[in-house]
Amino acid sequence: MSLKIIKAGVLDTIQDLGRYGNQQLGINPGGAMDKVAMQTANALVGNDLSEAVIELHYPASVFLFSQPALIALSGADFSASINGEPVANLRVIAVNKNNALQFHKPVNGARAYLAVHGGFEIEKWLGSGSTNLKIKAGGFHGRGLSKSDEIPFKYSIDFSVLLNKNEFKVLPWSADTCFPDDSKEVLVLPGNEWDKLTVTSKEIFTSTPFVVTKQSDRMGYRLGNNPLSSVSTEELISSAVDFGTIQLLPDGKLIVLMADHQTTGGYPRIAHVITAHHSRLAQLKTGDGIWFRLTDQLTAEELLLQQNRHLLQLQNACTFRLHQYLQKHGY
């Protein structure tokens, strides 16, 4: 009852909603980069939304199922196939024993998610299944997945009746993406040092595109931009930063902190990408441009509440469809 890695991808890790409550010790939350996509995959297979999933980067691993399972893919489209036949994201797929799942080309987005009905059997560290690569803890032995790894499922259900004689089966419904936008605009809230930017820098920030450079990873994205400048030279004493915090580096460039961000920092916090738009950030690739637009606290909170409502509706609908379908087929 497991998933075997036939060929390793560049960076595939187990992630959930993150590890909270330990930042006072310098332990960062981590977790999935695109938490909406991660939760969507869980909703589709009838899991708790917080269940740990596999986060995939392209080129992604090739997986072999050692037994039938219900799976779902979400987030980036890496042109997935099962036994060579294309399969779409946002569907529930009943896979058979010895089915191979692989990914052929990055069509859009940067991070895809693979959820399995029931979840993966992994050891939690400090209450979370997320992989912390820096300290080699959590997830699958604290590291990215590599060849010959076998990730066990929490429990096994025999889906062979469902599959009849078919190799695999895509169940007859799909989820709409929560926010099906590949919009390159992200809303930001002004940071504590926003007012320290020069007038020209504020103008550049809100009216020109910022490009995601190669120096970008799960910790943060360095942006290629015309240098911004601050009117203040006061050095800041380290204090907490968060996912989405946009810091001004000494050379005038910007860095947006992502899931594996450090807990504290001392660079000016000029803005914060609103939580509802973290998924947009998470799906950016090197070379993509983004535009920042200022918003206010109320709008940011409303969008986040909306996103959450949408996820809960999706979860209810998916659970209902899945139960109905499985019942009809004698489960």
Partner 1 sequence: MKYPIIPYRIFPLGDSALTIDFGNVIDEDVNKCVFASFHQLQQDPLPGIIELIPAYSSLTVCYDVVTVKKRFHSGKTVFESIKEWVEDKLDQPFSFDETAAVEVKIPVCYAVEFAPDIEQLARTRGLSPEEVIEIHTLKSYKVYMLGFLPGFAYMGEVDERIIMPRKQQPQNILPGSVGIAGKQTGIYPFASPGGWQIIGRTPLKLFDIEKENPTLLKAGQTVQFYSISKNEFENY
Q: Does 231 bind partner 1 (CB under 8 A)?
A: no
Q: Does 198 bind partner 1 (CB under 8 A)?
A: no
Closest CA to 23 of 241, 321, 183, 220: 241
Amino acid at 113: Y
Selected range binding partner 1 among 40-48, 53-61, 273-281, 316-324, rule: CB under 8 A: 273-281
83 or 308: whose CB is closer to partner 1? Answer: 308
136 or 293: whose CB is closer to partner 1? Answer: 136
Q: Does 272 bind partner 1 (CB under 8 A)?
A: yes
Calculate the alpha carbon distances from 331 to 125, 157, 162, 239, 294 in Å. Answer: 34, 9, 9, 53, 51
Per the structure block, which two tokens stand in for 176? Answer: 């709409």
64 φ, ψ (degrees, to nearest 5) = -125, 130
Amino acid at 98: N
Q: Does 199 bind partner 1 (CB under 8 A)?
A: no
Q: Shortest Cβ distance from residue 181 to partner 1 (Å)?
A: 18
Q: Does 50 bind partner 1 (CB under 8 A)?
A: no
CB of 50 within 8 A of CB of 17? yes
Q: How far is CA 81 from the centre of its chain?
A: 21
Answer for which of 117, 269, 280, 321 binds partner 1 (CB under 8 A) is 269
Q: Does 227 bind partner 1 (CB under 8 A)?
A: no
Answer for which of 82, 265, 290, 292 binds partner 1 (CB under 8 A) is 265
From first CA to last CA, the distance across the chain in angstroms is: 18
Residues that bind partner 1 (CB under 8 A): 20-28, 125, 132, 134-137, 142, 189, 191-192, 234-242, 244-245, 250, 262-265, 269, 272-275, 297-298, 300-301, 304-305, 308
